[in-house]
Amino acid sequence: MHVIRGIVAIIWIACNAALVWVPLTFWLVQRTWTRGEKLSSLKKRMDLIIWWWSANNARMIRLFNTTTVEIDWHESEELSMDKWYLVISNHQSWTDIVLLQTYLHPVLPPLKFFTKEQLVWVPFIGLAMKVLGFPYVKRVTKKQMRANPDLRTADRDNIITACEDFKNHPTSVLNFIEGTRRTQEKYDHQNSEFKYLLRPKIGGLDYVLEGMVNHLHRLVDVTIVYPDGVPTFWEFLQGKCQHVRIDIKPREIPATVTAAKAQNRRTELAQWIKSLWLDKDERIAKVMNIP
């Protein structure tokens, strides 16, 4: 039964991804000759694709009884569809992305996240994310940077360019600031000072703060906990993830972070994010009922 449910869910997702290209292709062609205020309106309309995608994922989760999600919203009255947000979350599974897209809708504006450059080759989904303005980041080795110094600023340039588009209409920018999915192997290798989290990386976050200055209303701190163990995406689709806890807490971005110059901003940001990560670690421990 689990396998059948998983196969049907994959078919649903594949069809959903293919169908979004019907309106998206039309709008993409229209975009080639549209300028000025009409282009601004078109960009906003194109983001309806994200809502459609999220709504269909929500239907899939309900119809197939994929999981039970318990959400704890803090100060939700601070959130609005008409403002810009920076969203951070811990990251353990591809399932996180589906859950965030599904359950932050429709409280926050469209969610766009940093994604690896290689994902552009994923049929339908990869190119759609690129067209819709999701920031692509590169994984560059020190050897590659020595051979091509321009690669040092490639991620910053991509993010700053994406932020200019984000200013067109209210958007939520998601950053998994651990930089990768947490696994026990990565955790052990890193020797993290946190119990349940990898160390946060603030580079991408700093670029967004630089690119979205005076636009961001709040930082939205999301904590995802799988009390019965972290599922693979395939296990999630099969309905083997019985329970998920999601804690969502809006936080005001300190003036010391937004007003500081580049070097000081990084220092202030690193200290602030570390304090949030310590708090997040404690919240996960409470959910897991481990002292």
Mean residue pLDDT across the chain: 87
Contact 107, 220 (CB under 8 A): no
Helix (H) or strand (E) holding 216, with range, is: strand 216-225
Looking at the predicted structure, is the pLDDT value of residue 207 above 60?
Answer: yes
The structure's pTM equals 0.91
**What mean pLDDT do residues 184-200 have?**
93
3-state secondary structure of 204: helix
How many Cβ atoms from other residues are within 10 Å of residue 15's Cβ? 11
**What mean pLDDT do residues 139-160 have?**
74
- The domain spans of the chain are 2-287
The beta strands (E) that lie in the chain are given as 68-73, 84-89, 111-113, 115-116, 136-137, 172-175, 216-225, 243-251
* pLDDT at res. 29: 85
* pLDDT at res. 281: 95
Distance CA 207, CA 140 (A): 17
* pLDDT at res. 244: 96
72-125 pLDDT, tens digit each: 998 877 788 999 999 999 999 999 999 999 999 888 998 998 887 767 667 677
* pLDDT at res. 260: 61
* pLDDT at res. 272: 95
* pLDDT at res. 141: 61
Highest mean pLDDT among 40-44, 109-113, 276-280: 276-280
